[in-house]
Structure 1
Amino acid sequence: MDLLLSLPVLSYFSGSLTSWSTSLNLLFFYMTWSTLVLSHSPLEVEIVGVAALRAALWLVPSLFFLAFDTLLPSLAENIKHNGASALPPRDVKALGKTAGLALFNFALELGVEAGMSLGLTTILNNSVFRTSTTLPLPWQIAKHLALLFTGREILTYYIHRYLLHGHPAPALHLFRYSGSSSSSSSKSKRTRSKPKYKRSLAALHSTYAHARPAPPYSLLLKADHPFPYLLHRLAPLYLPALALHPDGLHLLTYLLFVALVTLEETLALSGYAVLPGIVVGGMARRTAAHYATDKGNFGSWGVLDWAYGASVGGDVMGDLRDEAEKHRVRERGERKAGEVGGLVSDGIDGLRKGKRSGRTRKGKGGNGE
């Protein structure tokens, strides 16, 4: 419990904009982090840190969103994709089952990650993540985060599309039959193009995660069957981090990655249509379309969906174009406002100069009389 309460990961990245307070926050964080590293094992810091981040960035916001949607449904439906159909069910028993499954997967995910980290630490005779009192440099954090998010996007897309939704993998297209062939041969090819394990995973994912054809709410993030859930959420998160083990991925960078991914997924599955920004707002819209139609939008960021033509309800490039157009309109508006402001300022200066010159002429005429 003392480790959970003293974990300073979030404070490290939420410092004030003023230089002196930022320096104090970094100093405080360094002292606290050094104490944690020297007094606890790397596995303890990893698992408790991941648990704290997921509880703070998924569990608490999900329960808050659920309370808002159920207590103020008339207000919530106005800011939800697809309106009232996106609201959580009002059945207490159904919500209890969903919450129980989500909490079970929450604990299972932590247990599986702890087991893998412990096993790999034993095999490698070294901790999976670099855990030292030395903090990672900003450019190292940026580089590793870029690699982690890239790996996660690739794994999420292919696992989600070809395993959890039963689409034939690209290599299996060779087994498809085109032309005149016997029905038995065609049936054999179709069977080979969709193995039994793939049909089972797709059926489980469809039964649990897509139990209702409507936009999701954040609690559904972890309300999937355990097997598809671990493939869909844990594997794309943990495997890219393992791939960076030879490069010395720092535990702080991994915890920051977990925090960003957890917050992203919580907002993307919230179902709200009022989320700001091209990234989060676009992901929430595409996620809502995926759950409502059970088609397309298999990736997290939508880049591979756009590349493969699997986007539903708009794609990420459309979001970028819209945002660029907004910026152009804003820039043109600011430029026009600046021009109008300049004209008004020039006019006021002219009036002031005219008044001053008029008073000067009047004063000279009075002296002459």
Structure 2
Amino acid sequence: MLSSWSTSLNLVFFSLTWTTIAMTYSPLQLEFFAPLLLRTFLYLLPSALFLLFDSLLPSLAVELKAQGELGLPGRQKGGARKIRRVMGWAVFNVVLAVAVQAGVEWFVTDVLRLRSLLLIKGSAWSLNHLPNPWTLVKHSILGLISRNILQYYIHLHILHSSAGGTLAHWHQTWHHSVQTPYSFIAAYDHPVCYLLHRFIPFYIPAITFRFHIMTYLLLLSLFSLEEVFTYSGYNVLPSTIMLRGMARRTDAHMMSQGKGNYGPIGVLDWVHGTTLGADVMGDVREEMDKHDVQERAGRAIDGVGDAANGFGNKLNSRAKKGRGKK
């Protein structure tokens, strides 16, 4: 009961806080400052902390790196100068993507005088400006799927294809100038390639289906953390089936100079046969074996069967007693 009350109160306070924010700031301000804060605290700062750890405690960090000594940023070609370049362009690209989003919003709302591209003020819960729960879940799933599909085909057919021309050259000479990844590498690319590969696959579905700003920020938070961990180069990560497998495929993509593993999750790589090393289905099987999923499922089914048999026996027993009384 106390837990239920606590959850309800948290939701009420969150609703009031968001309502106050939505009523205080303009859509343009929300679309600039909210993504900037999330990208700063969920991507840039964690990436800086990981880099600091790798630089100050290399003897400890090397034990956590999947590629050992090769995974340490300071041991790679270019040394400290290269690290400063990577950090500088990563920060620039992150701010650029937020500025482009805000610029598009300004042009649409202030110049063209149209409604905001993302749903910010007014919704199914118009009183407190919160999204409908079912819509939030539906759009989150849609955003995850759309982003992964677009990233895969853009990455494969433009950034790693002769058809990509200058874009492919830029991606190869910028992003793939680093052999083993660390978190800042996720945002280290030519600015045009970064927008095409990282920003467009997320932003286009969001404005096409007109996501609520809350849904957009939720997905942005997830994608920021995904980039931090999958490009970290560490082999000790929270999840086997998702992050650890994604990080392993990212390592293989970088070390092969882009010969495979073009999607962040790996499903389309598995479908099209572009996987390098263990595929996503192998991760699923490993996770199932780790947690004895089949054995637990079998026990659950047996338990349901036993319960059904017991219930049936009780019914038969009661029926016999009823006949005996007659």
SS in 2 for 1:314: coil
- Distance (whole Å) between structure 1 residues aligned to residue 174 and residue 104 of structure 2: 26
* 1:324 alignment partner in structure 2: 288
The alpha carbon displacement at 1:285 in A equals: 0.7
1:203-235 residue CA offsets vs partner (Å, 9 max, x unmatched): 111111110322x00011111111111111000
Which residues in structure 2 correspond to 1:93-242 (within 5 Å)?
Answer: 93-121=81-109, 122-123=111-112, 125-132=114-121, 133-166=128-161, 194-195=162-163, 198-214=164-180, 216-242=181-207
Structure whose alpha-carbon radius of gyration is higher: 1
* 2:35 alignment partner in structure 1: 50
- Distance (whole Å) between structure 1 residues aligned to residue 152 and residue 215 of structure 2: 23
- Distance (whole Å) between structure 2 residues aligned to residue 161 and residue 238 of structure 1: 19
- Distance (whole Å) between structure 1 residues aligned to residue 23 and residue 194 of structure 2: 34
- Distance (whole Å) between structure 1 residues aligned to residue 217 and residue 108 of structure 2: 18
1:71 matched to 2:78: no
SS in 1 for 2:228: helix
Gaps of 5+ in 2: 122-127, 300-326
**Aligned counterpart in structure 2 of residue 258 of structure 1, from 206, 220, 223:** 220
**Backbone CA RMSD of aligned residues:** 1.9
The alpha carbon displacement at 1:89 in A equals: 2.2
1:288-333 residue CA offsets vs partner (Å, 9 max, x unmatched): 110111221101111110100001121111111111122227957x
- Distance (whole Å) between structure 2 residues aligned to residue 313 and residue 108 of structure 1: 34
Matched residue type, 1:276: P
- Distance (whole Å) between structure 2 residues aligned to residue 62 and residue 99 of structure 1: 9
**Aligned counterpart in structure 2 of residue 283 of structure 1, from 246, 255, 260:** 246
- Distance (whole Å) between structure 1 residues aligned to residue 46 and residue 255 of structure 2: 22
1:81 matched to 2:66: yes
1:326-367 residue CA offsets vs partner (Å, 9 max, x unmatched): 2227957xx8xxxxxxxxxxxxxxxxxxxxxxxxxxxxxxxx
| TM-score, normalization by structure 1 | 0.73
CA contact 2:18–2:129 (8 Å) conserved in 1 = no
**Aligned counterpart in structure 2 of residue 312 of structure 1, from 265, 270, 276:** 276
SS in 1 for 2:176: coil
- Distance (whole Å) between structure 2 residues aligned to residue 299 and residue 329 of structure 1: 27
Percent identical among aligned pairs is 47
Gaps of 5+ in 1: 1-16, 167-193, 336-369
- Distance (whole Å) between structure 2 residues aligned to residue 156 and residue 307 of structure 1: 15
The alpha carbon displacement at 1:241 in A equals: 0.4
| TM-score, normalization by structure 2 | 0.83
**Aligned counterpart in structure 1 of residue 14 of structure 2, from 6, 29, 43:** 29
1:18-69 residue CA offsets vs partner (Å, 9 max, x unmatched): 3222222222211111111111111211211100110111011001100111
Matched residue type, 1:158: Y
- Distance (whole Å) between structure 2 residues aligned to residue 83 and residue 124 of structure 1: 55
Structure 1 residues 104, 329: CA separation in 2 closer, same or farther (over 3 Å shift)? closer
- Distance (whole Å) between structure 1 residues aligned to residue 94 and residue 69 of structure 2: 28
Matched residue type, 1:205: H
